[in-house]
């Protein structure tokens, strides 16, 4: 096929049979609400219980989301025999401990990104789950979206030629008081918005062999913005920028010698994929028919349920080695910037 005839493949349907699992959600915040709504709207997965640090917030969440059981602690949720799989939807500095608690309780677990504060924590969680024989994955929801399966197939088929460059940015605005601005909650842009960037870059180009970075603090005392240049195997490069100071286009570009993919506007959500010829002409565009940004959170839950149903303890869409590669790159960026999460403790 000549480069001019290149077309984008349709996303694949991965599973024929997906068991309807009973989910328990840890935390009652922004993402917990959207995840629960997405499952109810688009799947047979059921959130049957919620766990919170406080009885009132558990009951409020359960009432609003139509969840049957409200537990006033995470421990009680994890001891609930009606829960098949736990979803950790709490701030970053609590992920490791809560994931380990879930694993110890014998629950399968989906942990919001990032899986830990650093690569060592992420590895510890993955190893604990493997030892206990329960399913564990990081909820890097982007990599479960149909949009990214279009990209995955293009890369698997080598349609771009030699992929030498990845560019991506992620800048968003947050109101004062948001956890991302709080050092005690491991705030800052790196672990939050930045984790999407290193996840994408290392997924496409492999682990970073060298990292250059510079950044700037936000007034609250967290990392406010970071620019990173990652060198991957064979001289390939990724150029990444994340900021809390401004909204940016959040575009990702995966550029090869034969063709280029562009994921315009919020590349980490459902959306378009554009295929450009080597001379920049638009050859094809795939548009996600599914409306709504965070409605797409259900794809990761379906994958988790299908894997558990098939007796798997990991998913090939987000294997531990990929998590570790992204986290190691983040660790390196943090080290260059002098960013530490010591102020956060463990919850
Ligand atoms: N995939 C995505 O698009 C996406 C979007 C946003 C966030 N996230 C991820 O989801 C996670 C949670 O983010 P969020 O925006 O939902 O946060 P949030 O709105 O602040 O909610 C976090 C929840 O965690 C619980 N929690 C446990 N320990 C806490 C502590 N020490 N301080 C504050 N809350 C604590 C609280 O629930 P209870 O008090 O009821 O226990 C709180 O409601 C993060 O890992 C974030 O990166 C992902």
CA of 90 to the centre of ligand 1 (A): 4
Which protein residue has the closest C-alpha to ligand 1 atom 42?
29
CA of 29 to the centre of ligand 1 (A): 5
Which protein residue has the closest C-alpha to ligand 1 atom 43?
29
Backbone torsions φ then ψ of 71, nearest 5 degrees: -100, 145
User: What integer pLDDT is reported at residue 6 of this predicted model?
Assistant: 86
> Which atom, in ligand 1's list, is nearest to the CA of 61?
40
Which of 89, 114, 343 for a ligand 1 pocket mutation test, highest count of atoms within 8 Å of Cβ? 89
User: What integer pLDDT is reported at residue 10 of this predicted model?
Assistant: 97
Per-residue pLDDT tens listing for the chain (347 residues): 566 678 999 999 989 999 999 999 999 999 999 999 999 999 999 999 999 999 999 999 999 999 999 999 999 999 999 999 999 999 999 999 999 999 999 999 999 999 999 999 999 999 999 999 999 999 999 999 999 999 999 999 999 999 999 999 999 999 999 999 999 999 999 999 999 999 999 999 999 999 999 999 998 899 999 999 999 999 999 999 999 999 999 999 999 999 999 999 999 999 999 999 999 999 999 999 986 789 999 999 999 999 999 999 999 999 999 999 999 999 999 999 999 999 997 55
CA of 329 to the centre of ligand 1 (A): 23
Q: Is 227 helix (H, G, I), strand (E, B) or coil?
A: strand
User: What integer pLDDT is reported at residue 148 of this predicted model?
Assistant: 98
Which of 67, 91, 197 for a ligand 1 pocket mutation test, highest count of atoms within 8 Å of Cβ? 91
292: left (phi over 0), alpha (psi -120 to 50) or beta: left
CA of 28 to the centre of ligand 1 (A): 7
> Which atom, in ligand 1's list, is nearest to the CA of 50?
40
- What are 16's two structure tokens? 């024929």
Name residue, tokens 């570009």. Answer: 253
Separation CA 141–CA 174 (nearest Å): 21
The angle at the Cα of 36, spanning 31 to 40, to the nearest 5 degrees, equals: 145
CA 336 to chain centre: 23
What is the strand order of the sheet 282-286 is part of? 208-217, 223-232, 237-243, 163-171, 252-256, 259-263, 273-277, 282-286
> Which atom, in ligand 1's list, is nearest to the CA of 93?
31
Q: In what helix (H) or strand (E) does residue 100 lie, and over which residues does it extend?
A: helix 95-104
Residues with Cβ within 8 Å of 242's Cβ and at least 6 positions away in sequence, in order, are 169, 170, 171, 189, 190, 193, 194, 197, 225, 226
> Which atom, in ligand 1's list, is nearest to the CA of 114?
45
Q: In what helix (H) or strand (E) does residue 326 lie, and over which residues does it extend?
A: helix 320-337
CB 305 within 8 A of CB 312: no
Instruction: Point out the catalytic residue in the list 71, 93, 95, 113.
Output: 113
Which of 90, 121, 298 for a ligand 1 pocket mutation test, highest count of atoms within 8 Å of Cβ? 90
Which protein residue has the closest C-alpha to ligand 1 atom 36?
27
Class of domain 147-293+317-344: alpha beta
ω into 114 cis (within 30 of 0) = yes
CB 322 within 8 A of CB 68: no
Question: Could you give the C-alpha distances from 66 to 46, 49, 62, in angstroms and in order?
Answer: 10, 10, 6
CA of 89 to the centre of ligand 1 (A): 5
Separation CA 240–CA 223 (nearest Å): 15
Separation CA 282–CA 278 (nearest Å): 10
CB 79 within 8 A of CB 332: no
- For helices 119-132 and 95-104, the axis angle rounded to 10 degrees is 10
Polymer length in residues for the chain: 347
SS3 letters across 163-205:
EEEEEEEEECCCCCCCHHHCHHHCCCHHHHHHHHHHHHHHHHH
Q: Is 36 helix (H, G, I), strand (E, B) or coil?
A: helix
CA of 98 to the centre of ligand 1 (A): 12
User: What integer pLDDT is reported at residue 2 of this predicted model?
Assistant: 61
Separation CA 170–CA 34 (nearest Å): 20
User: What integer pLDDT is reported at residue 219 of this predicted model?
Assistant: 87
Which residues, judged by CB distance below 6 Å to any ligand atom, belong to the binding site of ligand 1? 27-32, 52-54, 57, 89-92, 94, 112-113, 141, 179, 185, 192, 294, 347
CA of 106 to the centre of ligand 1 (A): 23
User: What integer pLDDT is reported at residue 71 of this predicted model?
Assistant: 98
* pTM greater than 0.95 (yes/no): yes
Q: Is 107 a catalytic residue?
A: no
Pick the CATH number of 22-142 from 3.40.50.1000, 3.40.50.720, 1.20.58.1910, 3.40.50.10260: 3.40.50.720
Q: What are the domain boundaries of the chain?
A: 22-142, 147-293+317-344
The Cβ of residue 204 has, within 10 Å, a number of other Cβ atoms equal to 21
Separation CA 159–CA 156 (nearest Å): 8
User: What integer pLDDT is reported at residue 347 of this predicted model?
Assistant: 52
């Amino acid at each position: 096929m000549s480069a001019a005839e290149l077309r984008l493949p349709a996303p694949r349907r991965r599973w024929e049979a997906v068991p309807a699992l009973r989910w328990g959600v840890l935390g009652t915040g922004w993402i917990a609400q959207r995840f629960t709504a997405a499952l109810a709207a688009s799947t047979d997965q059921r959130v049957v219980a919620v766990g919170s640090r406080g009885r009132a917030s558990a009951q409020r969440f359960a009432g609003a989301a139509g969840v049957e059981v409200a537990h006033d602690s995470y421990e009680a949720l994890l001891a609930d025999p009606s829960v098949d799989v736990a979803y950790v939807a709490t701030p970053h500095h609590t992920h490791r401990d809560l994931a380990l608690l879930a694993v110890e309780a014998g629950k399968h677990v989906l942990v919001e990104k990032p899986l830990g504060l650093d690569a060592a924590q992420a590895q510890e969680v993955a190893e604990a789950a493997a030892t206990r024989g329960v399913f564990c994955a990081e909820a890097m929801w982007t990599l479960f979206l149909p949009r990214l399966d279009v990209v995955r197939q293009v890369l698997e088929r080598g349609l771009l030629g030699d992929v030498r460059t990845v560019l991506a940015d992620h800048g968003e605005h947050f109101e004062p008081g948001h956890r991302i601005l709080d050092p005690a909650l491991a705030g800052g842009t790196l672990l939050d918005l930045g984790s999407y960037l290193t996840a994408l870059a290392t997924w496409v180009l492999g682990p970073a062999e060298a990292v250059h970075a510079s950044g700037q603090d936000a007034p609250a005392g967290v990392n406010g913005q970071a620019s990173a240049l990652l060198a991957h195997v064979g001289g390939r490069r990724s150029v990444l920028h994340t900021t809390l100071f401004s909204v940016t286009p959040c575009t990702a570009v995966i550029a090869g010698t034969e063709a280029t993919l562009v994921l315009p506007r919020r590349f980490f959500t459902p959306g378009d994929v554009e295929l450009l010829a080597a001379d920049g002409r638009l050859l094809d565009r795939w548009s996600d028919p599914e409306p709504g940004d965070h409605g797409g959170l259900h794809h990761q839950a379906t994958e988790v349920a299908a894997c558990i149903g098939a007796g798997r303890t990991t998913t090939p869409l987000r294997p531990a080695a990929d998590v570790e590669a992204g986290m190691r790159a983040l660790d390196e960026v943090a080290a260059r910037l002098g960013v530490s999460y010591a102020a956060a403790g463990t919850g």
